[in-house]
Amino acid sequence: MGPARSVWIGYDQREAAAFAVAMYSIRRFDPYIPIKGMVLADLQARGLYTRPTIERMNIDHQRQLIDVLSARDDYAGAISTEHANARFLVPHLAKFGWALFIDCDVMVLENIDRLFSLADQSKALMCVQHDHRPAESTKMDGQAQTQYPRKNQSSVMLFNCDHPANRRLTLDLINTRPGRDLHAFCWLDDSEIGALPAEWNYLVGYSKSAGRPKLVHFTRGLPDMPGYERQEFADEWRAMVPRAIGAL
């Protein structure tokens, strides 16, 4: 038997259908792999997530969360999802083995076991090492399109929970450092970060691929959001929604 595997999906109450699709798209290939959702209110209630967060309405009258620790003059601290910074709790929740975090706005097109098979025991974390610098200022439902180092690399992360380097990812660090530092993997040296093939985090609208990707990421906006209905893989995602919701 190989090392323990688990999958952790970020949950946002505004994207319940996306969460269902992300889970279903994995389970249709492997019905037994452990999958858990990361719900901000639950993590706060357990005392694991203590970052100060406030809520406001943006100019489009959409709910927006502000991470106080990330606020600065050129970056207002707006976070696009409830799991924006909570994702870094995965090693504390999984405790051992290899743990995969994925954003909920993804659709998996291949058996996730093939992603785990790429795990390099010498690395603390593995991800697709995008150099992603979008030009637009907004995304999704009017959320800010922020810029930071390693952007979108943290949207699909394979954590080696047994690696000693991840002991530096303490609860104190997670709850006191600006989000931009966490998303830049501030607790790791570059040599401790492994590269996954680009097909495992295909950014719809940005990435190019000669073949069919293995995981597609609707990072600009989900296919059920106005303006994103006709993007690549949108029809496939929408067709999966009723089956995914029915499987919950």
Ranges assigned E (strand) in 74-151? 78-79, 98-102, 106-108, 125-127, 138-139, 143-144
- pLDDT reported for residue 131: 75
Whether this prediction's pTM lies above 0.85 is answered by yes
Residue numbers of the domain that contains 163? 5-48+86-137+149-247
| Contact residues for 210 (Cβ-Cβ < 8 A; gap 6+) | none
Confidence of residue 137 (pLDDT cuts 50, 70, 90): very low
79 lies in a domain? Answer: no
Answer for the pair 22, 107: CB distance below 8 angstroms, yes or no.
Answer: yes
Q: What is the CA radius of gyration of the chain?
A: 17
72 lies in a domain? Answer: no
CATH number, position 243: 3.90.550.10
Total number of domains in the chain = 1
60 lies in a domain? Answer: no
pLDDT tens digits for range 4-41: 999 999 999 889 999 999 999 999 999 999 999 999 99
**Distance between CA atoms of residues 166 and 184, nearest Å:** 14
Residue 247 is inside which H or E element, if any?
Answer: helix 234-247
How many C-beta atoms lie closer than 10 Å to residue 37's C-beta? 16
- pLDDT reported for residue 181: 94
